[in-house]
Amino acid sequence: ANQCANTKYGEIPIAMAYVPWQEWTVPVCPCEALQIGTIFNELNLPFLCDSPKGRCCIGS
């Protein structure tokens, strides 16, 4: 039997987000912005991860 058939999805919040306030700063130069993916230096957060085998994902 489908136990979800009578669920009222309209009453369930799908997500909650926390978005910190961003202060305006001087943007980086266009050439650097294209390399790092943002004009805001504060948002330059390089993607780093571990592969399932424990190796670094960068350059693989």
- pLDDT, one tens digit per residue, over 19-30 is 888 888 999 999
Contact 58, 50 (CB under 8 A): no
At 2, the pLDDT band (50, 70, 90 cuts) reads low
Q: Contact at 8 Å (CB) between 49 and 34? A: no
Question: Can you name the residues that pair with 56 across neighbouring β-strands?
Answer: 50
* Chain centre distance of CA 11: 27
- SS3 call for 50: strand
pTM of the model: 0.44
Amino acid identity for residue 29 in this structure: C
Q: What distance in Å separates the CA atoms of residue 59 and residue 51, rounded to the nearest whole number?
A: 12
